[in-house]
């Protein structure tokens, strides 16, 4: 019996955790790139002329191709071609998109004839923003595909083991990337005097991420060979038709009420998180009497730390005790409370203590929901279509993540059209513009309220259908 247990690579704790660290670091670098410009909204407005609407359009670009159907294709690629092919493809797309974005935001590109041509059409969007948005679209396709690939990889390597803990640690590592970039992006931009410098730095890190996926693929190939030799996995050429993924299998996903409940909860919750990250640092600048970009980033960076610190513990709790559906409810409650505090309490008090405390609590909310959400998917979807299920959830999520940043940017600009402080700052050519964020923050809170309603319904559905969302992952 002992000989059989030691036969597989994932039965060795060190080996399976090394595999996890490799792919988690790739996502760490990806999360850094996602928010590399988030603490630089004021600077990019000054250096490149991006208005809040332009910044929101750029932020939305990350999700446009995913919404147009790429994520559905990505799920098919993942289930048909496997995690190794998809991991290398997705990490390469992230790097290529990052290179294009860096070119668009760089100083030398501003004086090129191509940039001049870009400025001749859709004049409300500067050429630098068009180029950056193109790169961000390609990066976004790769990043979302990589995220689902990582989820399926963890489900494979940690099946019957510490799956929720592993997913929690992966998410924690990735979110530390947000902390890191909010810490260093303003510092790099200040040192070099340009928004392009931190973008270039993160682009190099994404190249390292490609290498990580290559090393992981070598390990995963060896793991598959062990499973084939043991008769626990059929070689590709020996697999029968029913063992393979078919496009028609997507009907099983689309017809699942449980799947759609999880997907809708996902889009509502994340619409109040990721778009908020784009504007969070600038919101703190405005609500705390004009802090510098660096000072605001130093406060906001603690948001992912709250998530990173508690997510592994929540994952371990889910593995041993369960209560996943209950965690989803509490996560939504904390989300609502935090956005309402940002909207009404912070502008009235200008308290840094309240800002820090609320940011950390929001991070705890960001632990409760993802830690419970992603390990729940394998409980309701069979393994051979798991990649497609994850990608379809991400597709629904991306619909919100595409349009919400654009909505927030438009509302922010419209709500401040007659704001005397904003008009005076723009007339004086000041770098800092004191926007009023009340209405955008109320919108974020409303997403949280809707997420709470869906989370309560999901728990009721679990009680009725016995999906196992409240049960522990490790069976004794």
Mean pLDDT computed over every residue of the chain: 84
Instruction: Name every residue whose Cβ is closer than 8 Å to that of residue 229 and which is 6 or more positions away in sequence.
Output: none
Q: Whole-angstrom Cα distance, residue 286 to residue 119? A: 30
**Helix axis angle, 52-65 relative to 386-415, nearest 10°?**
170
Q: What is the pLDDT of residue 233?
A: 65
**Long-range own/partner contacts, residues 237-243 (CB < 8 A, 24 or more apart):** 243/384
Report pLDDT digits (tens) over 332-376: 999 999 999 999 999 999 999 999 999 989 988 887 887 777 777
Q: What angle do CA 177, 205, 220 make, to 5 degrees?
A: 90
Report pLDDT digits (tens) over 316-336: 787 778 787 888 899 999 999
| Least reliable range by pLDDT among 29-33, 152-156, 227-231, 260-264 | 227-231
| Residue 189 resides in a domain | yes
| Residue 234 resides in a domain | no
Q: What is the pLDDT of residue 1?
A: 39
Beta carbons of 398 and 266 less than 8 angstroms apart:
no
| Residue 476 resides in a domain | no
| Token digits of residue 368 | 């409760």
Q: Domains in the chain: how many in total?
A: 1
| Residue 176 resides in a domain | yes
Range of the domain at 451: 20-220+249-465
* CA distance to 96, 293, 339, 429, per residue, from 42 (Å): 26, 8, 22, 12
Q: Whole-angstrom Cα distance, residue 238 to residue 227? A: 14
CATH number at residue 70: 1.20.1250.20
pTM > 0.75: yes or no: no
Q: What is the pLDDT of residue 248?
A: 67
In the DSSP assignment, the letter for residue 346 is H
* Nearest alpha carbon to residue 397 among 273, 245, 277: 273
Q: Residue range 48-56: average pLDDT?
A: 82
Residues in the chain: 476
DSSP-H helix ranges across 68-126: 71-105, 107-110, 113-118
| Residue 1 resides in a domain | no
Beta carbons of 411 and 442 less than 8 angstroms apart:
no
| Residue 38 resides in a domain | yes
Other Cβ atoms within 10 Å of 173 Cβ, number: 21
| Residue 35 resides in a domain | yes
Report pLDDT digits (tens) over 419-436: 998 899 888 877 788 899
| Residue 423 resides in a domain | yes
Report pLDDT digits (tens) over 155-195: 888 877 777 788 878 877 887 887 788 888 888 988 888 88
| Token digits of residue 56 | 């929101």
* CA distance to 152, 303, 469, per residue, from 310 (Å): 22, 12, 20
């Amino acid at each position: 019996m002992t000989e059989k247990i030691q036969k597989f690579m994932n039965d060795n704790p060190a080996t399976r955790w090394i595999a996890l660290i490799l792919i988690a670091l790739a996502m760490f670098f990806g999360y850094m790139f996602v928010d590399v410009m988030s603490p630089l909204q004021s600077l990019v407005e000054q250096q490149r002329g991006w208005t809040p609407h332009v910044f929101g359009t750029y932020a939305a670009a990350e999700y446009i191709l995913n919404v147009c159907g790429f994520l559905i294709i990505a799920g098919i690629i993942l289930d048909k071609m496997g995690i190794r092919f998809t991991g290398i493809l997705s990490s390469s797309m992230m790097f290529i998109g990052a290179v294009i974005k860096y070119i668009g935001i760089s100083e030398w590109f501003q004086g090129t004839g191509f940039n001049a041509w870009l400025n001749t059409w859709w004049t409300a969007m500067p050429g630098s923003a068009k180029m950056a948005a193109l790169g961000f679209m390609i990066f976004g396709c790769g990043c979302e595909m990589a995220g689902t690939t990582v989820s399926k990889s963890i489900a494979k390597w940690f099946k019957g083991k510490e799956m929720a803990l592993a997913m929690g640690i992966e998410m924690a590592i990735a979110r530390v990337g947000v902390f890191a970039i909010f810490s260093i992006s303003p510092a790099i931009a200040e040192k070099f005097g340009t928004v392009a410098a931190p973008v270039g730095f993160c682009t190099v890190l994404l190249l390292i991420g490609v290498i990580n996926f290559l090393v992981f693929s070598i390990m995963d190939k060896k793991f598959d060979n062990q499973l084939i030799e043991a008769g626990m996995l059929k070689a590709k050429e020996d697999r029968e038709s029913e063992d393979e993924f078919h496009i028609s299998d997507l009907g099983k996903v689309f017809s699942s009420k449980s799947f759609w409940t999880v997907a809708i909860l996902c889009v509502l919750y994340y619409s109040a998180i990721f778009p908020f990250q784009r504007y969070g640092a600038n919101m703190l600048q405005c609500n705390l009497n004009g802090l510098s970009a660096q000072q605001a980033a130093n406060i906001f960076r603690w948001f992912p730390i709250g998530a990173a610190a508690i997510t592994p513990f929540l994952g371990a709790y889910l593995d041993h005790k369960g209560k996943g559906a209950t965690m989803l409810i509490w996560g939504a409650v904390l989300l609502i409370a935090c956005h309402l505090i940002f909207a009404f309490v912070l502008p009235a008090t200008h308290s840094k203590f309240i800002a820090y405390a609320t940011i950390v609590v929001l991070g705890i909310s960001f632990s409760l929901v993802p830690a419970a959400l992603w390990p729940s998917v394998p409980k309701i979807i069979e393994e051979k279509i798991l990649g497609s299920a994850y990608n379809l959830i991400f597709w629904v999520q991306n619909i919100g993540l595409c349009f919400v940043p654009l909505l927030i940017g438009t509302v922010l600009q419209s709500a401040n059209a007659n704001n005397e402080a904003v008009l005076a700052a723009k007339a004086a050519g000041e770098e800092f513009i004191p926007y009023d964020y009340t209405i955008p923050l109320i919108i974020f809170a409303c997403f949280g309220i809707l997420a709470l309603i869906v989370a309560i319904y999901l728990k009721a559905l679990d009680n009725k259908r016995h999906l196992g969302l409240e049960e522990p992952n490790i069976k004794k």
